[in-house]
Amino acid sequence: MAQTVLVSGGAGFIGSHVTVELIQAGYDVIVADNMSNCDKTCLLGARKITGRKIPFFKVDFCNRNAVERLFQANKIEAVIHFAAFKAVGESVEQPVMYYRNNLDSFLNIIDVARTHGCRNILFSSSATVYGQPEELPVTEESPRQEATSPYGNTKQICEDILRDSVKAYGNVRGIALRYFNPIGAHPSALIGELPRGVPNNLVPFITQTAIGKRECLSIFGNDYPTPDGTCLRDYIDIVDLAKAHVCAVSRMMEDKMKEPYEIFNIGTGRPVSVLELVNAFQKVNGIKLNYRFAPRRPGDVTAVWADPSKANKELGWKAERPVEETLRAAWNWEKYIAKK
């Protein structure tokens, strides 16, 4: 019988791609989401791709009783926790809202999961925990810097909550995956990034500018100490990122963890500048983008990219999709959404 994985926040961008990869790897998946930052587009897309009627529950993970009911009604062997607010700028303006939502939801997951015998918890963390690193690329041993936003701080605190819970309760194991910059869409163009309002991330802003939804793309800062003056990032294809979760879940389920709490960087190890990404999008899709340089944005670090060798070795996972394919998929998704 297939093992069941709960994907909290599974109707969103990353959660829907992870759901697809889990099902294709043979797991049963339950998606739960409060739908505060998405609609059902990606959930329906995931059902279409997999040909499965994926069970969906509308749950606010800050409501402990609702989480309790979810675990009572289903036999869950592992949880992947995505449900969180994620806009850096908004977190600076609304810190209490971010701390309450992102911490309460995770505390409830851990508490309820362990009391229901679900010991495998995978946390969706972020490279923001490294801040502006002193040395590049960053490894899992690189020091965490003081967070530049409440959002980034919630990622650090949740990592600590998971680490301390694993230490205190003998029946919990945890993995934190630190993502770098997930971009793109599923090759089917049935699921992808669907921000509400003005996108906070670069690629949806590129695709929305390309399709005419946005007048102009702003590139924040062209005076950074980098080869072309724009920030350097580690852009990882969303399908590659999703596959890392399957590797991490099977590592937990098959008792292959070397420590009860583990951390992995999920990135390509290749720095790409913002301007390089914009130019690659134009070239791959044959589109001329209207863009301009704008002043630096507060909170943006100059450069960060991963050393993914630990994940490559321990998880048996590697980023494989070329950035051109990723940007083609992102554009196909934007065109698909425009037709809906």
- Determine the number of helices (DSSP H) and then strands (DSSP E) in the chain: 11, 13
Closest CA to 180 of 143, 214, 139, 213: 139
Burial class (CB in 10 A: 0-12, 13-18, 19+), 29: buried
Distance between CA atoms of residues 65 and 76, nearest Å: 16
Euclidean distance between CA atoms 23 and 255, whole angstroms: 20
Identify residue 180 by its one-letter amino acid code: F
Residue among 151, 179, 235, 291 flagged as catalytic: 151
Phi then psi dihedrals of residue 283, to 5 deg: -65, -50
254 exposed, middle or buried (CB, 10 Å; 0-12, 13-18, 19+)? exposed
CA distance 25 to 266: 19
- In whole angstroms, give the CA distance from residue 306 to residue 176: 15
CA atoms 66, 68, 74, 77: torsion sign: positive
Clarify whether 151 is annotated catalytic.
yes
Count of other CB atoms within 10 angstroms of residue 300: 15
Residue type, 292: R
- Which of these, 297, 255, 294, lies nearest to 149 by C-alpha position? 297
Joined tokens for residue 266: 């999920």
Alpha carbons 26 and 278: distance in angstroms, whole number:
37
Active site residues: 151
